[in-house]
């Protein structure tokens, strides 16, 4: 996304959980990210590398992976996981935080075909690629003038949500926050929370944008969230 380090690779404060949790960075649209608690930003450069087609450990740079580690060879063995960490990983897997590395290696045409077939991971990464790699980057080989990248990314994320990626709602929320559409961001944040994705929904409550919202705005966002929820439920496969 133009000038906005939207989905930034996170490094967890505790080294054991480095590839798994996110935390909101600076408040506001320019630095908000979809991350779980207790992490710090690692920089947009690594994220752009991921968007160009590299993944690590089968995880998306947008949802807790560290794409910069791919191809670095053998690393020191991590400490044994605690039961709490295993449970957290399983929760994130169920919510749709993980994207297999193979999707980063796909061409745009291959990714679009997999998305057309309803693959939730392909839909999610297609949205990432639209928003982070292509939107506002006309020098990219796959850039298409006039293509509505943000709108198409949000549509892909809605499809991913309908196919079981609960985390997609929080990603849509942040995309609106980056556009300074705070009311819509708040509505999608409520959808994410209702879907069980508190790991990413909590960050929004700490932003200056949310804290500046009045009661009337919050009520309107809640009504909008109800409408979105009903529409999304109708899109889910029967």
pLDDT reported for residue 16 = 25
Q: Which ranges of the chain does DSSP label H, i.e. alpha helix? A: 44-51, 83-95, 102-105, 108-116, 120-128, 149-162, 168-178, 182-194, 198-205, 208-211, 215-235
pLDDT reported for residue 200 = 83
The first and second tokens of residue 63, run together, are: 């949802």
| Euclidean distance between CA atoms 34 and 170, whole angstroms | 7
pLDDT reported for residue 47 = 35
Q: Which residues pair with 10 in a beta bridge?
A: 41
Stated as kind and residue range, the H or E segment containing 224 is helix 215-235
What are the pLDDT tens digits along the chain (238 aa)?
A: 443 333 333 332 322 232 322 333 323 333 333 433 322 223 333 333 333 333 333 333 333 443 334 344 445 667 788 887 777 777 777 777 788 999 999 999 999 999 999 999 999 999 999 999 999 999 999 999 999 999 999 999 999 999 999 999 999 999 999 899 999 999 999 999 999 998 888 888 889 999 999 999 999 999 999 999 999 988 888 7
| Euclidean distance between CA atoms 143 and 170, whole angstroms | 26
pLDDT reported for residue 97 = 78
The first and second tokens of residue 73, run together, are: 């060879």
pLDDT reported for residue 92 = 73
Query: Could you count the other beta carbons within 10 Å of the beta carbon of residue 161?
Result: 28
């Amino acid at each position: 996304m133009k000038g906005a380090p939207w989905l930034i690779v996170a490094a967890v404060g505790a080294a054991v959980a480095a590839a798994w949790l996110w935390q909101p960075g600076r408040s506001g649209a320019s630095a908000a990210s979809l991350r779980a608690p207790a992490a710090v930003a690692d920089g947009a450069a690594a994220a752009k590398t991921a968007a160009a087609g590299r993944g690590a450990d089968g995880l998306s740079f947008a949802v807790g992976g560290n794409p910069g580690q791919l191809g670095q060879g053998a690393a020191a063995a991590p400490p044994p996981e605690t039961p709490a960490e295993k449970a957290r990983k399983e929760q994130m897997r169920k919510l749709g935080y993980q994207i297999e590395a193979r999707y980063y290696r796909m061409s745009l045409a291959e990714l679009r075909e997999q998305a057309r077939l309803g693959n939730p991971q392909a839909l999610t990464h297609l949205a990432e690629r639209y928003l982070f790699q292509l939107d506002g980057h006309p020098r990219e080989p796959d850039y298409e003038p006039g293509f509505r990248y943000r709108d198409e990314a949000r549509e892909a994320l809605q499809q991913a949500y309908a196919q079981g990626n609960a985390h997609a709602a929080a990603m849509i929320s942040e995309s609106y926050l980056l556009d300074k559409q705070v009311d819509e961001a708040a509505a999608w944040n409520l959808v994410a929370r209702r879907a069980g994705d508190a790991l990413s929904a909590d960050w929004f409550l700490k932003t200056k944008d949310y804290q500046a919202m009045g009661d009337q705005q919050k009520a309107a966002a809640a009504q909008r969230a109800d409408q979105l929820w009903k529409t999304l439920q109708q899109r889910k496969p029967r």
